[in-house]
Chains A and B, each alone.
Chain A
Amino acid sequence: MIEHNASSNQDEPLLSVRELVAGYKGPVVGPLTFSVLPGEVLGVGGRNGSGKSTVLRAITGAARTFSGSIQRCAGLTVTHHQQRPELPPELPLLGRELLRVMHADRTDAPEIIQPLLDRPINQMSGGQFQLLQAWACLGGDAELVLLDEPTNNLDGRAIDALTAFIQTERPPRAVMLVSHEREFLAENCTRMIELGDENGSAEVHQDEMRRVSGGAGG
């Protein structure tokens, strides 16, 4: 069930999830209860198959909500960077044309994105396309950006750039970040949800995250 708040401000959550049980043909994850505040980077960790991606897909409506509720602030704008975005084999779309689609064709695009602006996506590597898609989500005007395993295919320089993307312009933008890389989560997230084997959730604060992951900087 999706609900909408009548109004929103900086103190109200962008998203309030209560007792959410979500999945596809059957439940995959939940019950989960959490909220996303303006300006925060909320990490979602957990083992493979624990339902991290399903949580994001439930928020976008691509997965089925079996019970519980997802309450959104009115007019919330959302973008979703999917895990392993498919690189279409023969489309001559330029990088800047892809960014324009998501209203992210800004003049101040990061340096690492600049060489991709006039390159057709069918001449990009998987990592370059992944980074371009991440910037298409983060460089636009969405208030909530959902990133699903955004470090896949990326080398160290690109991961550093992605970290910079995530850290810029928030608040007001909030990010939900799914990753199996605990160091990346620790470096970027202000708060964490850990999905357990029983699909329950336990919230872990950032300081604790750093201790668990060996004190990654950020």
Chain B
Amino acid sequence: METPRLERSWLDWTADPSGTSAAPHLQAFRVLILLHLCVQAWAWALRPLDHPYTFPPLAIHGCAVALTLAAAVASFGSERWGRMACLASLPIVAFELAWVFPATANHHYLSLLILGLCGLFDLRREGEDQLLLQGLRWVAVIVFFWAGAQKALHGLYFRGEFLSWAVAVGGERWAALFGWLLPGAELTRLQELPQNVGSGPWRAAGLVVPLVSNAVWVGEIVLAVGMLVVRIRVVAVLLALGLVYAIQLAPREFMFALLYTNLLLLFLPGEPNRRLLPVFALAYALLVGAVAGVPGLEGLVKQAGL
């Protein structure tokens, strides 16, 4: 008798070899996504965007309330209601993203995509939890791979041009955190450069800046591929988390960092998304506080908000 050949598709490269149920993990993930979207909507309601992206106040407050309800339903309701909350949130989030187009941030598109996937799969059905887990892990891999590949394609990382520019004129936070990479005289030279046509070169002398700069894009690509290899997956994910937060320390794009952390944690054993739910909730609460102008928290967000 012929043994049936097991079909192994590329989708399974992110599968969990243990094959244990991922449903509790994914339920927590879903709550976090809705919490993320609810915080984003409240941020837009509390600190209106500049023209031409200013939401009508009633519309954005309505979105924020609806997404808060959806997050509450996903947190305390049954599995069925959690999925329904994702599906019901889709048009609200799509409206928000369309309103801010073309200034829509990448993490907004990403959260809409993830929300759609969470609404597509029913975790009560056999195998759908694994399928959703594999899909979300692939999303994490693709995002990290392209983040590195795009830096190489645009060509401002090979000799540290972007990093030189960012440290010199990208704002106080860049200079404070990464200024030590440049020799003092070189930092002064770059800071004094005009920004008109022909000014430059925006390249710092020495080896440190090019080394760090190249390590970033190479690291992103290598770690993305590493996430597909079961044996080194955990190490790759931990290093990727370190890289994300190292990059985000200066620009403070914590909304992206939290969303991406939620994705990366799906690779780790022990259901960290569920265990860390209170930590995420606290982080999101701090971000809302920062946007609302709570003294002492302003430094957590960019001047423009989330």
- Our verdict on whether A and B bind, yes or no, reads no
